[in-house]
């Protein structure tokens, strides 16, 4: 299976790319960091020309499974948000995944096989004060996933979204600092009293793209150590 992972140079994306079984194609903004992979493409998903070229790359390499992991986050009082901030979040977290899917699905339909996994966020399920643009984009992924699952079902193409909670990554640590809360205060809100490990997400991705999960499509799966059900 040919698998393309966006945002593959660090955090969740890197662990996903290193864990999945198949021929890995990595995408990210940092060309130097991508060189650890045999197959890679450097692109900034907020730049239209580069996004289109990544779409060309996906089609040319006949990608079987697309993992939309790349994302952007900003914490800000909504009254302080600049238009450029909103555009950056929406373009990275929602527009780019939908566009890349539109390019990948052409070949998937011809081959009558495809697997698409979007990495969302629990903020798109529950909402997050101070992260309205991020929550909006990630919530959009959930609606998009349902619509695409219906559209592609007859072609043996599944589409699902995984919604991580707090994850043990650099982004997670940075988000704590921006939130104004301590790590301990955040842990108190998580029923399992722990952050999710990136490999847990990678393992779920592996399952969702396998034949064992061929009947699972259009789903929004919360992987959040219980955060979505209360504290």
* Residues 223, 181 contacting (CB under 8 angstroms): no
Q: Is 25 a known active-site residue? A: no
* Residues 137, 89 contacting (CB under 8 angstroms): yes
Query: Biggest alpha carbon distance in the chain?
Result: 50
Per the structure block, which two tokens stand in for 128?
Answer: 């997050």
* Residues 88, 42 contacting (CB under 8 angstroms): no
Nearest to 119 by CA among 208, 30, 216: 208
* The one catalytic residue among 25, 37, 57, 134: 134
Q: Is the dihedral of CA 139, 144, 150, 154 positive or negative?
A: negative
Helix axes 83-90, 132-152, angle to 10 degrees: 30
Q: Distance (Å, rounded) from C-alpha 210 to C-alpha 193?
A: 30
Stretch (H or E) spanning 122: none
**Catalytic residue numbers?**
134
């Amino acid at each position: 299976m040919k698998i393309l992972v966006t945002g593959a140079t660090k955090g969740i994306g890197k662990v996903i790319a290193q864990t999945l079984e198949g021929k890995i194609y990595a995408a990210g903004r940092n060309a130097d960091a991508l060189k650890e992979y045999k197959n890679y493409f450097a692109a900034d998903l907020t730049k239209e020309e580069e996004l289109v070229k990544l779409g060309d790359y996906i089609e040319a390499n006949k990608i079987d499974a697309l993992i939309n992991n790349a994302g952007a986050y900003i914490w800000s009082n909504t009254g302080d948000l600049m238009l450029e901030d909103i555009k950056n979040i929406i373009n990275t977290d929602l527009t780019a995944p939908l566009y890349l899917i539109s390019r990948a699905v052409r070949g998937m339909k011809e081959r009558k096989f495809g697997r698409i996994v979007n990495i969302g966020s629990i903020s798109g399920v529950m909402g997050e004060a101070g992260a309205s643009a991020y929550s909006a984009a990630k919530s959009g992924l959930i609606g998009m996933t349902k619509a695409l699952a219906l559209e592609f079902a007859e072609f043996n193409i599944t589409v699902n979204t995984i919604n991580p909670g707090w994850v043990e990554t650099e982004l997670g640590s940075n988000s704590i600092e921006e939130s104004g809360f301590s790590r301990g205060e955040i842990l108190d809100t998580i029923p399992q009293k722990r952050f999710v490990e990136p490999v847990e997400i990678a393992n779920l991705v592996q399952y969702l793209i396998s034949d064992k999960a061929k009947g699972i499509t259009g789903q929004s799966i919360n992987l959040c150590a219980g955060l979505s059900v209360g504290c």
